[in-house]
Amino acid sequence: MNQLTVFLMSNLRTLLQRAVFLFGAMAAPMLGWAQEPQTDLQRMVIQAGMFQINAQIAQTPQQRQIGLMFRKEMPAHEGMLFVFDEPQKQCFWMKNTLLPLTAAFVDDEGVIVNTADMKPQTTDSHCSDKPVRFVLEMNQGWFAKKKIGKGYKLKSAVFGPK
C-alpha cells in the first residue's frame, strides 16, 4: 500500500470509531441503555375498587420502551400505566427489568382483559388476549392478593365512560 492509502485508512478508522461512539452516546437514552430507572414521569390515580394505585404514565415511545427497567424496588401501591395511541394486541417482555411484575392488559373502558405474571430479566413475550390501549404493571402478586383480574373494571380519568 502506498502512503496515501495508509493515511486514508487510518483516518477512516478513526472517523468510524468516533461516529460509533457518538451514535452510542445519542442512542443510549432512546434505547433504554441509560441503566437509570425513569422515576420522574407524570402520575395519576387509578381506582381498583377500594384500592388506589399511584401510577406513573408511560405514554411516549421512549417512556414505554424503558418502562420499569432498572428499578430495584417499587412501593406496593405504585405501578406504571402504559398508554398507546390505538388499541392493538400489546406484548411485553422483561429484559433489563429487575422486579417480578404482573401486567394487566386494559381496554378503553378500564376493563382488565387479562393479566400475566412476568419473570425478571427474560425476553419471554406476554401478550393481551385482544387489542388494548393500556397496560398496567404492578409488583407481581398485587392483583392476585386483591382478587382483581379478568373482567374487573378500573376507574381513572384516562379510561372511557364510567
Residue 86 contacts residue 133 (beta carbons within 8 Å): yes
**Residue 56 and residue 18 in one domain:** no
**Residue 22 and residue 48 in one domain:** no
Flag whether 153 is in a domain: no
**Residue 22 and residue 53 in one domain:** no
- 72: how many CB neighbours lie within 10 A of its CB? 7
Burial class (CB in 10 A: 0-12, 13-18, 19+), 105: buried
**Residue 21 confidence (pLDDT) above 60:** no
**Residue 22 and residue 81 in one domain:** no
DSSP 122: -
**Residue 75 and residue 126 in one domain:** yes
**Residue 5 and residue 72 in one domain:** no
Sign, CA dihedral 107-111-113-115, equals positive
Structural domain boundaries, residue 16: 1-31
Cα–Cα distance for residue pair 38/34, rounded to 1 Å: 10
Q: What is the pLDDT of residues 26-39, one digit of tens each?
A: 454 555 455 789 88
**Residue 7 and residue 58 in one domain:** no
Residue 129 maps to which CATH number?
2.60.120.1140
Cα–Cα distance for residue pair 3/149, rounded to 1 Å: 71
pTM greater than 0.75 (yes/no): yes
Q: What is the pLDDT of residues 82-93, one digit of tens each?
A: 999 999 999 999
**Residue 18 and residue 88 in one domain:** no
Cα–Cα distance for residue pair 101/142, rounded to 1 Å: 9
Flag whether 152 is in a domain: no
Backbone torsions φ then ψ of 153, nearest 5 degrees: -100, 120
